[in-house]
Amino acid sequence: MLGRVEKYLIEKVKSDGSLHITLIDPEKVSPEQAAKIAQSSKESGTAAIMIGGSTFNSQNHLDEVLEAIRNAVDLPTILFPNNITGISGNADAMWFMSLLNSVDPYFLVGAQILGAPLVKKYGLEPISMGYIIVGDGGTAGIVGKALPIPYNKPELAAAHALAAQYFGMRFIYLEGGSGAKDPVPPEMIRKVKSYVDATLIVGGGIKTKEQALTAVSAGADIIVTGNLVESLGSEQRVADIIKGIKTVKQ
Ligand code: 1GP
């Protein structure tokens, strides 16, 4: 049986065609700032809040950030952990993810083994996801010891995604790296989408409505933006992205 958050995401993709999730990096914000970002993202129409970053964060701070977000908005909160320190009992769900193109078994299954009992203890909803780092991969690629898949090798991304689906993972995340100069290209999204039935998440470097539209038109079901909330006029830009992607019916 699907968990509450997963069911919500799947149904929303079905009814709206695609959706937007706001990523908050706990390391970059105070609890008050996180609450403000969550509030304004909700007003813009974001569907959920993801919390995670690629580098260090203190667990106390993560707990406080999540508490502030939950007090501010009633959107689902989904952990996006880079390690076991990214797990908190104050979230609703967690991407239970494997970094499929890591060369380090720790990021393929080691951290997950250490984290699984915590997920159970905290009653978090685990949502199974295959994480694939593409393009230059950014900090996530370095920290996760990934061999990023070049943007001009879409068939390799599709092979990784298909393997994830055969393993039973229900979501696939094509990650261009936070702050990537160029977002994941439509050719790669299209290729992956043509291989799998899983729900496809795309993120990394999406800054404009046009880029979001391109990704959704190519087959992305969920768009994630993180860095955008730190830029000038970001509220309007997030709102434009969300309004824009709703116009594309797949
Ligand atoms: C990073 O894909 C996300 O994990 C979001 O990337 O910060 O570039 O929006 P940005």
Tens-digit pLDDT profile for residues 180-224: 999 999 999 999 999 999 999 999 999 999 999 999 999 999 999
Query: Which atom of ligand 1 lies closest to the CA of 140?
Result: 4
Q: What's the number of CA atoms in the CB half-sphere (13 Å) around residue 172? A: 32
Q: How far is CA 224 from the centre of its chain?
A: 5
Supply the residue whose CA is at minimum distance from atom 4 of ligand 1.
178
CATH code (residue 102): 3.20.20.390
pLDDT tens-digit map of 161-173: 999 999 999 999 9
- Residue 249 is predicted with a pLDDT of 60
> What separation in Å is there between the alpha carbon of 207 and the centre of ligand 1?
10
Query: Helix, strand, coil shares of the chain as percentages rounded to 5?
Result: 50, 20, 30
Ligand 1 pocket mutation, candidates 99, 182, 227, criterion most atoms within 8 A of CB: 227
Domain count, the chain: 1
Structural domain contains residue 250: no
Per-residue pLDDT at 53: 85
CA–CA separation, 204 and 133 (whole Å): 10
Question: Virtual CA dihedral for 2, 60, 227, 130, nearest 10 degrees?
Answer: -30
> pLDDT exceeding 90 applies to what percent of the chain?
89
Rounded to an integer, the average pLDDT of 74-87 is: 96
Q: What is the pLDDT of residue 58?
A: 86
The fraction of the chain above a pLDDT of 70, given in percent, is 98
Domain that holds residue 218: 4-245
Arithmetic mean of pLDDT over the chain: 95
Residue 64 lies in a domain: yes
Is residue 107 assigned to a domain? yes
pTM of the model: 0.97
Looking from the CA of residue 54, the nearest atom of ligand 1 is 4
With a cut of 60, say whether residue 250 has pLDDT above it.
no
130: enclosing H helix or E strand: strand 125-133
pLDDT at position 237 is: 86
Q: Which atom of ligand 1 is nearest to the CA of 206?
A: 9
Query: What does the CA dihedral 243, 38, 202, 84 come to, rounded to 10 degrees?
Result: -170
* Distance (Å) from CA 238 to ligand 1 centroid: 13
